A and B are shown apart, each in its own frame.
Chain A
Amino acid sequence: MLNYSRETILNTVLTLLLLGIPFAALAIDEPFYVTLATRVTIFALAGVGLNFALGLGGLISFGHAAFFGLGGYAVGILASHALNYEPLMSSPFEIEGTTQMVILWGVAMIVSGLAALIIGLFSLRTSGVYFIMITLAFAQMIYYFAISWPAYGGEDGLPIYVRNGFPGVNTLVPINFFMISFGVLMLAILLVAVLRNSRFGAALQAARQNEDRLSAVGIKPFYIRLAAFVISAMITGLAGALFADLNRFVSPSMLSWHTSGEIMVFVILGGVGRLFGPVAGAALFILFEFIFGGLTEHWMFFLGLVLLAVVLFARGGLIGTIAGKVRYD
């Protein structure tokens, strides 16, 4: 029980830090840090999505950039149609673009979820290194498709001229957009916490620990994993939607394997399978980029060393190192 409470304290500290830093930044008139904290929040959300599949389900997806990017493009494409007053399609019925974040999020999640359903149907029949490679291959296919499709910017990406709207909030004010992202992140973590303790969560975690055992009690691991993969993709897709609005720009790089790798780094740095692991991981990543990126353009090299150290000596990431191993009640 000591471990449990220690993790709870750590989670609380992380949450308060993440929430406090942008307000402190505003107080000392350094608005840049608000944007930095928003980046941490959105990256953490992408990590929360991957962590659900990877940490709880043991699904080492190296293709989550696909969902991050699809979420981003869903926002970019719909917003560009709305801003140009061009309907997305006119026959057989007319679909207009929109600049309402809530609708855009829904579309982003549906698109990512459907993509995950298709990718999962194929990739989840494999495991281990084959699963890693197939998820990577699907993501790269979407990446090259985005590059070669000129209608929405191709290689140059697609700008979103005005940040999309949220009822009753001026989203162009950085702290407002941070608060929206922060709220979404907290809801996603809450959702994962609830799912983790449910029947579905029990089956998913059993599938990771021993899939033969799960089959032998009559539960098919494939469908449990497929559902988890879709939920995971929807969360990461939502992060992509927010990222598009943060930058007011979507580009194919959101879909590239670098992005998949980065999302995985958030999860590993923070602690695989820990609720707040991706928050810790994304914060460490951005801090690292900010501190060492200012000193040398080869900061990724040093990040690599840190990652190596985590994998070799601190398997549980930041949360695991401080709070110890996961104990189930």
Chain B
Amino acid sequence: MTDYSGGGDAPVLEIRNLYKSFGALKATDDVSLTLMPGEIHALIGPNGAGKSTLIRQICGEFEPDHGSVHFLGNDLKNSGVADRAQLGLGRTFQISSLALEFSALRNVMLAVQSTSGSSFKFFKPVMKDQPLVDAAMSFLGKVEMQSRANVPAAELSHGERRKLEMAIALALKPKAFVLDEPMAGMGPEGSKALTGFLSDLRHQAPILLVEHDMDAVFALADRISVLVYGQIIASGTVDEIRGNSVVRTAYLGEDA
């Protein structure tokens, strides 16, 4: 048995030589990266660098042309989006993706019901399933959304939806988080709060973090990989990336 619980040196998530093209565009061009237990690995890069395409291959929405994604030692080749979530890949979307007619609570309950027993239970009303409701409520509490539990997702503010996305990801009790721009549109206050939150979250499960907010990335990341035109041009610690002249000209700009 390989130890994935933290502290070990087997990667939780490992991407090997991934390729994906759309016509002549090489969106993912020989990308390899690992996510180690207990770490935050940030993936940065300019718009159009192929970050989202890479995330979608990791989560199973896109099939890579070549290469493989391994999670907890399993090759995910034949696993769909739902299979990967069941295996413990907890993902948030760049643009909030929620069941908009359902309340915040019911959105989280959906994740809880997926991880605790079957969804093919036909008779017991979910709202009377107290353990299910309580568990969902506790995850809402972790993102300070308990007071908004009964508000339909469609009526939540942008920031609240981002928090709800996070609560749903937490409810999956994942073995790794894949967070696609969680800071987007959060404002300085929100970003700061979320930075503190993510910093603690890494002890629960490692995080692959796609983010544009450089302050957050530099504050959080144990390692940073820089993606440009579908290729990882540099990978290293915060200081290494800050000092890398190729990265500075390609992406960070002179004042970074």
- Answer yes or no: A218 CB below 8 A from chain B CBs: yes
User: How far apart sit A218 and B117, CA to CA, in the bound complex (Å)?
Assistant: 12
**CB distance A199 to B98 under 8 Å?**
no
Min C-beta distance of B190 to chain A, whole Å? 22
**CB distance A199 to B103 under 8 Å?**
no
User: How far apart sit A214 and B109, CA to CA, in the bound complex (Å)?
Assistant: 11
Instruction: Find the residue from A194, A218, A223 having the highest chain B CB count within 10 A.
Output: A218
Please indicate the chain B residues that have their CB under 8 angstroms from the CB of A224 in the complex: 119
**CB distance B121 to A217 under 8 Å?**
no
Min C-beta distance of B195 to chain A, whole Å? 24
Whether A219 touches B102, Cβ cut-off 8 Å, given contacts A197-B126, A203-B113, A206-B110, is no
User: How far apart sit A329 and B59, CA to CA, in the bound complex (Å)?
Assistant: 31
Q: Give the size of the chain A interface in residues (CB under 8 angstroms).
A: 30
Whether A219 touches B123, Cβ cut-off 8 Å, given contacts A202-B110, A328-B101, is no
Number of residue pairs spanning A and B whose beta carbons lie under 8 angstroms apart: 112
**CB distance A206 to B99 under 8 Å?**
yes
The bracket for how many chain B residues form the interface is 35 or more
Query: Among A198, A212, A213, A214, which residue has its beta carbon within 8 angstroms of that of B126?
Result: A198
- Answer yes or no: A216 CB below 8 A from chain B CBs: yes
Whether A209 touches B91, Cβ cut-off 8 Å, given contacts A198-B121, A218-B86, A220-B80, is no
Please indicate the chain A residues that have their CB under 8 angstroms from the CB of B245 in the complex: none
Q: Mark A210-235, 1 if CB is under 8 A from B, else 0.
A: 10111111111101100100000000
Min C-beta distance of A190 to chain B, whole Å? 11
- Answer yes or no: B162 CB below 8 A from chain A CBs: no
User: How far apart sit A194 and B168, CA to CA, in the bound complex (Å)?
Assistant: 25
A-B contact pairs, 18 of them (CB 8 A): A199-B118, A199-B119, A200-B120, A200-B121, A200-B122, A202-B119, A202-B126, A205-B101, A205-B102, A209-B100, A216-B81, A216-B91, A217-B110, A218-B172, A219-B82, A219-B110, A219-B114, A328-B103
